[in-house]
Amino acid sequence: MSERLLAYTDKLSAKPGDLIQVKVSSPHSGKYRARLVRMICGDDSADGPGFKTEPVKGVAESEHAARFQPVPLGSYAAIKDRKGFALASFSLAAFIWPTRLDKGEAQCILGNWDAANASGYALYLDAQGRIALRVGESAPVTLEAPLLSRHWYRVAASFDAKSGRVTLAAHRQLPYAGNPQRQIARGKAAASTAANRFLIAAWNDGAKVTAHFNGKIDSPAVYAKAQPIEALLLPPGSRGALTPRQAVAAWDFARDIPGTAVIDRGPKRRNGQTVNLPTRAMTGWNWNGTEMNWVHKPEHYGAIHFHDDDLYDCGWETDFTLRLPKTLKSGIYCLHLTQGDLEEWTPLFVTPPKGKATAKLAFLVPTASYLAYANHQMSTSWHFDELSSSRFTTFSQADLYMEEAGSLGLSTYDLHNDGSGVCHSSYLRPILNMRPKTDLWQFNADTHITDWLEAKKLPYDIITDEELERDGVAALKRYACVITGTHPEYYSERMLDGVQDYTNHGGRLMYLGANGFYWRIAWHPKLPGVIEHRRSEDGMRAWWTETGESYMEFTGEYSGLWRRNGRPPNMLAGVGFSAQGFDVASWFDRMPGSNDPRAAFIFKGVGQNERIGDFGSVGGGAAGWELDRADAALGTPPHALILATANEFPASYHWVKEEFNHSHSAVNGDTCPMVKADLVFFETPKGGAVFSASSISWAGSLAHNGYDNNVSRITENVVRRFLEAKPL
């Protein structure tokens, strides 16, 4: 089995002088060594510029005791009060929408059961997908038939301690001929009044939490005596139904949807907290399609979708702390840990001191997009991965580890174990593909840019998406020029506003990638380091939202494409996502716009008939992987210059699906004129400007021939002119 030394830090972005908490897990005992290095280039491939780091003065290497720390997968809700649920007689009720009936093990709905000592009680799904109740050491009482997946049921159980009588029932909301709508079972049990922790969607197993439920739970409630089963099966609020005032606790998941609290409407206010961010703002048992936005009708969105592979925070203990020097230069750093043959590179993005700029140029690191792809398992979970990429699937060491050792939390490109899409991603866990020496995608590809900046001796500061989200345009306005990464795909409204305000007020933007400003996300209003995204309506999607679930729980905003939210990327960058392919890259040919006097500075030293970028370490060319194009109908400014175009692509490149309005045979590089990339330049108000490379592969060509090539020359011409005070 693959082994990994794993680590993460309590923050992804830091300032000089900050204290960093480092959390480490090793498969072996003994010692590991730690050092801080400045990361120049993480590309260790044969065709790349070479792996490059610098030591950090004033930060000594250190040695620490190694230990293993587990990853606590699975979401649930925990109720603080314990004594209130140490009941002799009780009743339980909830609506459920189960999604993984073939799991083959118990999935708890609610209760205070502790499997370690067989105490307490729990209403749950058994290994065969049947509703069951267990009380203490008594044998469980179980319904005869399994439930149907993805159907709403009202489930209930009552237990009378004096008689030992158990009554158990499940009522499906949809009737089917030949399939009983209601099941009832009766049995016997002995009371167990242990004051264990009360959980929803999981149960206790000593210090661990196991038996995670997969699916939605709505309106769970507990009562202090054996209530009539008919009353328990009635929906809340209906005539004859039990009320919250009669309950030990009756939780309303439609309250505090953006937060982590579960609110009890009962008189004792036995509130709780969700753990590992299950998905909220989900359609409940009573949703009828009359409202698609939970903000307008939260009572129809009283369901929480729990998963056995949810993960927000590993919660590991801190192994050591590191105080960053107050004089530390802004840049990308890595904590390099080694233990025998094992090593770990944990990135840390160091910004300048708050409110200051130490250079005229900023590299805007797309950390939100890093999170969206964090620990993705597309190569193993996408049945269409080989068709999409037109190449055989190959496993990296990270892929092998996650397949063999288990998940480290999923990306927004993955599906949960129950087949539902992943909406959340955080950095409070090891992220194996946000590392040097990995695929040239996202983080590692972006080190081609830092490598080039260092080679050209261009001073720069690091700014991340977190600062952009927190400070808006204030994070950028002190810089003459801002450079993006190769794939700044995921943007919140505040982030997008910040960059647009920057260019509208004289800022110069160099968009050195493609498929940028594409998907709309939200950052959690209170929890650190977590984004939400829902794949609504259209786009090049790995999955799609269920009907009625396209509005994000964190903010109530509609998710999906920025294009579908009225702000196509063309409005900001002059170009927008047009096509993708992942086997070979191509080159750019100059267009008439390159001869406009406004663009003369861009092509200084570049011949009229030169192919631009018919070389590079990402696909062999500067135009590849994902491509953007200009389109006036989508907001490309009328004065924008199309400087060069790449349109020589094979059939493995495909036109983006959001632009199909009917069945269309011309969808690939052999047949479709939309499969192209446009190099674009235009001026913005108050002396600003935008230059868009429109290709993820562009940065992979910068280092070719010792940085002496036309891609490098064009990029350098633009950045040096953009740094000048003279208006454009």
pLDDT tens for 713-725 read 999 999 999 999 9
pLDDT tens for 96-134 read 999 999 999 999 999 999 999 999 999 999 999 999 999
The CATH class that applies to domain 76-306 reads mainly beta
Query: pLDDT exceeding 90 applies to what percent of the chain?
Result: 89
The residues, any chain, with a CB within 8 Å of residue 21's CB and separated by 6 or more, are: 9, 10, 318, 321
pLDDT tens for 598-624 read 999 999 999 999 999 999 999 999 999
CB burial readout 500-515, b (16+ within 10 A) else e? bebbeebbbbbbbbbb
Model confidence at 382: pLDDT above 70: no
The residues, any chain, with a CB within 8 Å of residue 675's CB and separated by 6 or more, are: 578, 579, 627, 647, 649, 653, 654, 655, 668, 669
The CATH class that applies to domain 480-518+562-728 reads alpha beta
What's the pLDDT band for 537 if we cut at 50, 70, 90?
A: confident
Identify the pLDDT of residue 9.
98
Helix (H, G, I), strand (E, B) or coil at 401: helix
Instruction: Give the end-to-end CA distance of the chain in Å, rounded to a whole number.
Output: 58
CB burial readout 91-109, b (16+ within 10 A) else e? bbbbbbbbbbbebeebbbb
Tell me how far apart the alpha carbons of residues 594 and 690 are, in angstroms, rounded to a whole number.
15
Tell me how far apart the alpha carbons of residues 233 and 173 are, in angstroms, rounded to a whole number.
11
Strands (DSSP E) found in 498-562:
508-511, 519-520, 522-523, 530-532, 560-561
CB of 496 closer than 8 Å to CB of 521: no
Look at the block and give the residue holding tokens 């770990």: 344
Identify the pLDDT of residue 388.
65
Residue 168's DSSP bridge partners are 157, 185
What's the pLDDT band for 539 if we cut at 50, 70, 90?
A: confident
Q: Which of 32, 18, 658 is nearest to 326 (CA)?
A: 18
Residue type, 724: E
Domain regions of the chain by residue span:
6-70+323-350, 76-306, 480-518+562-728
pLDDT tens for 274-290 read 999 999 999 999 999 99
Report, as an integer, the average pLDDT of 453-476. Answer: 98
Please give the structure tokens belonging to residue 341. Answer: 């043959």
The number of C-alpha atoms within 13 Å of 192 and in the hemisphere containing its C-beta is 22
Identify the pLDDT of residue 377.
76
CB of 210 closer than 8 Å to CB of 70: no
Report, as an integer, the average pLDDT of 336-358. Answer: 96
Model confidence at 353: pLDDT above 80: yes
Identify the pLDDT of residue 396.
75
pLDDT tens for 219-246 read 999 999 999 999 999 999 899 999 999 9
The residues, any chain, with a CB within 8 Å of residue 511's CB and separated by 6 or more, are: 484, 488, 573, 575, 690, 691, 692, 693, 694
Four-residue CA torsion sign, 102, 103, 109, 113: positive
Helix (H, G, I), strand (E, B) or coil at 664: coil
Identify the pLDDT of residue 1.
62
Q: Which of 287, 246, 326, 259 is nearest to 15 (CA)?
A: 326
Q: What is the pTM of this model?
A: 0.96
What's the pLDDT band for 369 if we cut at 50, 70, 90?
A: very high
- The pairs formed by 49-55 with CB atoms below 8 angstroms and a separation of 24 or more are 49/448, 49/451, 49/455, 49/617, 49/703, 51/436, 51/437, 52/451, 52/454, 53/334, 53/336
What's the pLDDT band for 591 if we cut at 50, 70, 90?
A: very high
Tell me how far apart the alpha carbons of residues 481 and 463 are, in angstroms, rounded to a whole number.
12
Tell me how far apart the alpha carbons of residues 27 and 7 are, in angstroms, rounded to a whole number.
12
Tell me how far apart the alpha carbons of residues 119 and 173 are, in angstroms, rounded to a whole number.
32
Tell me how far apart the alpha carbons of residues 347 and 332 are, in angstroms, rounded to a whole number.
7
Identify the pLDDT of residue 662.
61
CATH 2.60.40.1930 fits 6-70+323-350, yes or no: yes
Model confidence at 73: pLDDT above 80: yes
Tell me how far apart the alpha carbons of residues 443 and 205 are, in angstroms, rounded to a whole number.
39
pLDDT tens for 190-216 read 999 999 999 999 999 999 999 999 999
Rounded to the nearest integer, the mean pLDDT of the chain is 95
Look at the block and give the residue holding tokens 């990464």: 485
Model confidence at 634: pLDDT above 90: yes
The residues, any chain, with a CB within 8 Å of residue 691's CB and separated by 6 or more, are: 508, 509, 510, 511, 602, 680, 681, 718, 722
Number of Cβ atoms within 10 Å of the Cβ of 610: 17
Question: What φ, ψ does residue 251 adopt, rounded to 5°?
Answer: -90, 140
CB of 373 closer than 8 Å to CB of 459: no
Look at the block and give the residue holding tokens 């004065």: 639
Four-residue CA torsion sign, 279, 284, 289, 291: negative
* Residue count of the chain: 728
CB of 88 closer than 8 Å to CB of 191: yes
Number of Cβ atoms within 10 Å of the Cβ of 384: 9
> Which burial class, exposed, middle or buried, applies to 596 when counting CB atoms under 10 A from its CB (0-12, 13-18, 19+)?
middle
Identify the pLDDT of residue 133.
98
pLDDT tens for 1-39 read 678 999 999 999 999 999 999 999 999 999 999 999 999
Identify the pLDDT of residue 611.
97
Look at the block and give the residue holding tokens 């020496």: 437
Tell me how far apart the alpha carbons of residues 449 and 715 are, in angstroms, rounded to a whole number.
10
What's the pLDDT band for 379 if we cut at 50, 70, 90?
A: low
Report, as an integer, the average pLDDT of 527-548. Answer: 91
pLDDT tens for 553-588 read 999 999 999 999 999 999 999 999 999 999 999 999
